[in-house]
């Protein structure tokens, strides 16, 4: 039975500072489970080499001696060794074209791939995730972006007090600042030209809930999608309130058969029977937080055609899109890339259909940082490691030479085994069509 695991250095992004297993948990695994843990040296990781060394782990230049290696983001295409086991976010389960070369290499090397995104209970509820922290950081960044973008338009607001997420020493520090911004809005109000300020959220899962935690620090009044459509017609609205609206699937699509009713499971399984209606809400939103799952079977919620038409017709209300989902050319069609923490926003010009990095330019601002949880690296790593801890020893000790049906792994982990000795497991055969 294998007792050695490796924790690799994250090298996909300059500011990726997270780790899958924190030093405190490494210490438990060494002392209680008898594991030998190799940790790759890193100058930027939020938990230092010294912290890992103090836990009893071996800090080394290369962890590839270990048969089982844990990471966070994609590993380099030349990193894999024949027959070993790798645990990370591979970004292949939707057939993402940019990672098909990576997938082909993993197949070639006959590896075992455990995909965090698919670790779930019997009902499909995810058990190991960074989603809440993507929402938290995404909302902080989007409020910061709103303040900066409005300043470019000559409008001073309390949002200028907010910084980008990673510039805070902790989540608590960010919460303290945003709470003060909320208090200022409640006491002094917002500029008349900005009201009613409305923040919309697509989705209601971990990501959306994280984003809503931050918005709850402001003086919030929640309205339904139907009430949103009437908001602009109401007189004497208070200027010291921020309106919030959460959109569910039934708000975003209707059956093409006008006599049919919306059915959630039918929508999931047969999205081709539905047509998107989300763009009707966009003229009423100041900020859109896109926090939902999307794949190409579904209609986009914001198209380039809609934005061009909207901007040609006047001065639209929509100012910032916080695209936490961050699917390039996806549900927000004008999100052409996932941005880096050090260069997090761009202004999309709907008329020219061109993006310009930064806060200046004609159009609307898009915040689409691809690794948002890494802007809160300590808190997000602790929460992630807490969820992963109880599975680590069994992942390390499994006999991967056994046939899949006889492979002894915890059920949630076995559900997340995409490749077994380089072969797709039954639930992931569908990915072959993308190769």
Q: Are 153 and 124 in contact (CB under 8 A)?
A: no
Q: Tell me which CATH code domain 131-375 carries.
A: 3.40.50.720
User: Whose structure tokens read 């859109």?
Assistant: 288
Question: 0.85 exceeded by the pTM?
Answer: yes
Distance CA 239, CA 242 (A): 8
* Chain length of the chain: 435
What is the mean predicted confidence (pLDDT) over 49-53?
A: 98
Domains 4-110+378-427 and 131-375 fall in the same CATH topology: yes
pLDDT tier at 183, thresholds 50, 70, 90: very high
Q: Which CATH superfamily is domain 4-110+378-427 in?
A: NAD(P)-binding Rossmann-like Domain (3.40.50.720)
Distance CA 70, CA 4 (A): 11
Distance CA 215, CA 155 (A): 21
Check whether 77 has a pLDDT greater than 90.
yes
User: Whose structure tokens read 């010009």?
Assistant: 349
Q: Poorest-confidence range of 198-202, 248-252, 312-316?
A: 312-316
pLDDT at 220: 98
What is the mean predicted confidence (pLDDT) over 26-50?
A: 97
User: Whose structure tokens read 């499909």?
Assistant: 124
In the chain, domain spans: 4-110+378-427, 131-375
Tens-digit pLDDT profile for residues 356-397: 999 999 999 999 999 999 999 999 999 999 999 999 999 999
Kindly give, in sequence order, each residue whose CB lies less than 8 Å from that of residue 377, ignoring residues fewer than 6 positions away: 17, 18, 46, 166
Tens-digit pLDDT profile for residues 253-282: 999 998 899 999 999 999 999 999 999 999
pLDDT tier at 32, thresholds 50, 70, 90: very high
Checking DSSP bridges between strand 345-349 and strand 354-357, what pairing results, if any?
antiparallel
pLDDT at 235: 82
pLDDT tier at 236, thresholds 50, 70, 90: confident
Element (H, E) at 101: helix 100-108
- Share the mean pLDDT of the chain: 96
pLDDT at 315: 75
274-278-280 Cα angle (round to 5): 125
pLDDT at 232: 81
């Amino acid at each position: 039975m294998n007792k050695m695991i490796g924790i690799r250095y994250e090298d996909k992004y300059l500011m990726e500072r997270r780790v899958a297993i924190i030093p405190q948990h490494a210490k438990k695994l060494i002392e209680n489970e008898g594991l030998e843990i190799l940790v790759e040296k890193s100058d930027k990781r939020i938990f230092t080499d010294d912290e890992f060394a103090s836990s009893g782990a071996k800090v080394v230049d290369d962890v590839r001696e270990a048969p089982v290696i844990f990471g966070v983001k994609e590993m380099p295409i030349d990193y894999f060794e024949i027959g070993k086991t790798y645990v990370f976010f591979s970004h292949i389960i939707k057939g993402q074209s940019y990672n098909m070369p990576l997938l082909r290499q993993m197949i070639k090397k006959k590896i075992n791939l455990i995909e965090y995104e698919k670790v779930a209970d019997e009902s499909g509820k995810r058990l190991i995730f960074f989603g809440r922290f993507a929402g938290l950081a995404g909302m902080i960044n989007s409020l910061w972006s709103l303040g900066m973008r409005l300043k470019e338009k000559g409008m001073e607001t309390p949002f200028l007090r907010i910084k980008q997420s990673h510039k805070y020493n902790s989540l608590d520090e960010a919460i303290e600042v945003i709470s003060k911004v909320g208090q200022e809005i409640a006491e002094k109000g917002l500029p008349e030209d900005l009201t009613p300020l409305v923040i919309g959220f697509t989705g209601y899962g971990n990501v959306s809930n994280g984003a809503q935690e931050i918005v709850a620090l402001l003086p919030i009044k929640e309205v339904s999608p139907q009430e949103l459509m009437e908001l602009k017609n109401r007189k004497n609205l208070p200027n010291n309130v921020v309106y919030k609206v959460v959109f569910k699937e039934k708000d975003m699509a209707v059956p093409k058969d006008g006599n049919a009713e919306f059915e959630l499971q039918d929508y999931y399984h047969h999205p081709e029977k539905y047509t998107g209606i989300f763009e009707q809400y966009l003229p009423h939103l100041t900020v859109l937080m896109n926090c939902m799952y999307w794949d190409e079977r579904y209609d986009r919620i914001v198209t380039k055609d809609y934005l061009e038409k909207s901007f040609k017709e006047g001065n639209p209300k929509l100012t910032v899109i916080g695209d936490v989902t961050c699917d390039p050319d996806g549900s927000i069609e004008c999100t052409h890339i996932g941005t880096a923490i050090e260069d997090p926003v761009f202004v999309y010009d709907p008329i020219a259909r061109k993006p310009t990095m930064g806060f200046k330019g004609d159009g609307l601002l898009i915040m689409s940082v691809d690794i948002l949880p890494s802007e809160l690296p300590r808190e997000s790593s602790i929460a992630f490691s807490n969820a992963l801890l109880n599975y680590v020893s069994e992942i390390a000790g499994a006999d991967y030479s056994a046939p899949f049906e006889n492979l002894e792994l915890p059920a949630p982990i076995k559900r997340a085994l995409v490749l077994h000795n380089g072969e797709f497991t039954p639930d992931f055969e569908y990915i072959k069509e993308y190769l």
